[in-house]
């Protein structure tokens, strides 16, 4: 029989049922950042909390296999370059740095407001990956300190 890590079966089942709903809610908050309260920061924290939920319920090994941590680190570093690239493409479009150069569209539509949804998505990815990676590294450090004592 395999060694059980993480919390009890009840917590694992509830997490398995709800974690995708939490992730969906995070994406909703990020994508609707220019229409309703919320945006990149709030939605990113919701995504990080969903991953943290899995980490608490299932333990470190399962989460490491499920999430592919090196890919998350690359995504975290790449998102800030993406932010700068969108800013510079404002210059290439003939306006200022970080200018809102895409057409604004109609009010209250999902695809509107130019570059604001793009920035929201980038910031959401950035915040989610950063907060989760900090928790990930801290949890690894804590485990090995526990082994020493």
Nearer to other proteins, 16 or 141 (CB): 141
Report how far apart, in Å, the C-alpha atoms of 91 and of each of 88, 95, 98, 110 are: 5, 5, 8, 25
Instruction: Give, for 96, the enclosing helix (H) or strand (E).
Output: none
89 binds other proteins (CB under 8 A): no
113 binds other proteins (CB under 8 A): yes
Beta carbon of residue 4, minimum distance to other proteins (angstroms, whole number): 18
CA angle 31, 33, 34 (to 5 degrees): 110
110 binds other proteins (CB under 8 A): no
Residues from 28 through 67 that contact other proteins (CB under 8 A): 29, 33-39, 41-42, 45-46, 48-49, 52, 56
Rounded Cα gap, residues 84 and 86, in angstroms: 5
| Residues in the chain, total | 149
Rounded Cα gap, residues 2 and 62, in angstroms: 13
Q: Which residues bind other proteins (CB under 8 A)?
A: 29, 33-39, 41-42, 45-46, 48-49, 52, 56, 73, 76-77, 80, 83-84, 87, 98, 100, 104-105, 107-108, 112-116, 119-120, 123, 126-127, 130-131, 133-135, 137-142, 144-146, 148
């Amino acid at each position: 029989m395999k060694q059980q890590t993480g919390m009890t079966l009840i917590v694992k089942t509830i997490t398995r049922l709800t974690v995708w709903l939490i992730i969906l809610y995070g994406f909703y908050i990020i994508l609707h950042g220019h229409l309703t309260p919320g945006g990149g920061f709030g939605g990113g924290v919701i995504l990080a909390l969903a991953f943290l939920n899995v980490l608490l319920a299932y333990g470190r090994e399962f989460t490491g296999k499920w999430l592919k941590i090196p890919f998350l680190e690359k995504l975290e570093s790449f998102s800030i370059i993406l932010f700068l690239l969108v800013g510079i493409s404002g210059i290439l479009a003939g306006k200022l740095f970080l200018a809102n150069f895409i057409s604004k569209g109609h009010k209250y539509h999902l695809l509107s407001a130019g570059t604001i949804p793009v920035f929201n998505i980038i910031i959401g990815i950035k915040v989610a990956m950063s907060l989760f990676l900090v928790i990930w590294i801290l949890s690894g450090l804590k485990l090995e300190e526990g082994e020493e004592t």
